[in-house]
Structure 1
Amino acid sequence: MEYLIVNLNGLIRIKVYNFKKGCDCLGIEFKEANYNILPNDPYFAGLIDTDGSIVFNYSGNRIECNLEFKLNEYTSKLNLDNVIPHYKPAISIRNKQNYKSISFKFQTVNGMVFLYQYFMINRLFSDMKFYRISQILRFIEIRKYNKYPFNSEEFLIYSEFLLN
C-alpha cells in the first residue's frame, strides 16, 4: 500500500477523501493534484473509460462525450478546458434527489473531429466506447444525409449507420 500511495500521491483528483485517509494511516503527507488537466493528458481517457459515456445524440445529430460526477470540493475544481485542444466542455450543475452533480459535456458538431483526434492519441480500453469514437469521421461525412428523402440512397446509408 505504501508503494501505491507514494507513487499516486499528487495524482489523485476525485477520490481524494479516501486517499487522504490512506496517507494519514501511513504517515505520508498528502500532495494536492493539479486540477487543470493538460492538453492530450491521458487522465481524461481514463475518466471516460470508468465514468464517462460516448453517445449518439439523435436530435442533435452528433456524437458526444459526457462525464458526470457527484459535486464536491474536488470535482468542482476539475478543469477540462484544455484537455482536448480547441474544444471546451459545457459544464452544468444539476440537483439530483439527494445530491448535486457536475457534468462535463463535449457536445458540439464542430468539436467532434477534435474528440476523435484526442482519442486516437489516448485510446480507450472500452472497445465499445472506442468503436463509437472511431466512427466520428465517417459520421461527419454522412450526417447531412438525415435531411434527404426517406426513400433515397443517402437516407439509407444514414439509417444503416445509425443501426450500426
Structure 2
Amino acid sequence: MRGGWKMYAGPLVPIEFSLVSKKRLGALALVIDEDHGTPCPTCVIESTHTDLQAAIHELARRERTAEDTIGFFDRSNGERRAVGIHTAGLFENWIESTTYDAVIWTDGESNFLRTTGSVFSLPAARQHLLSLDVPARREAQRYLRNAPKRVDTPLRQTSLTAGWWATD
C-alpha cells in the first residue's frame, strides 16, 4: 500500500456486521450487504501495484481470502466483478470522480443465514453474539467498537448501548 488511509473518501456502500467471521472466532464482521446494510462512507488507500491482478492478489493475501472474493471495476475496459447486483455500479460511479484507473474492494457476502440458520436482524445478531464463548465475545465487542466511527450501522449503534451484552 502507498500512503495513508483517506478516511471516508470512498463511495457510500451498504455495510453491516452480517458476516460470521472464522478469523474473528465467530464474531460478526463488516461486509457489503445490499439487503441489510446501511450506506456508510468507505475509506481509500492506494496500491503500489500498477497491474490490477497484482493488486487483487495482494488484497486477497492481506484479507486472508480467495481472490474471487475481491471485487473490482476497471475503468479502461469496464470489466467488473461484484457479488451484489448494485455494488459494482456504486464503485463505477465513484471512480468517475477520481483519477484512479481501477478500484478493488473486499467483496465477501453475508453468511449469517447460512451459518446461523436465521435471517439477519438485530435480535438474531444479538442472539448469535451472546452465544459466543468469552474470548469470541470480547473479539466481537472489540471489532464493533473499533470500526471506523462513520461506519455507524444499526447493529453497531445498538451493541454499544448499556446492557446490550448482558446475558441475564
TM-score, scaled relative to structure 2: 0.28
Q: Which has the higher contact order (CA 8 A, sep 6+)?
A: 2
Structure number with the higher helix fraction is: 1
Structure number with the higher strand fraction is: 2
TM-score, scaled relative to structure 1: 0.29
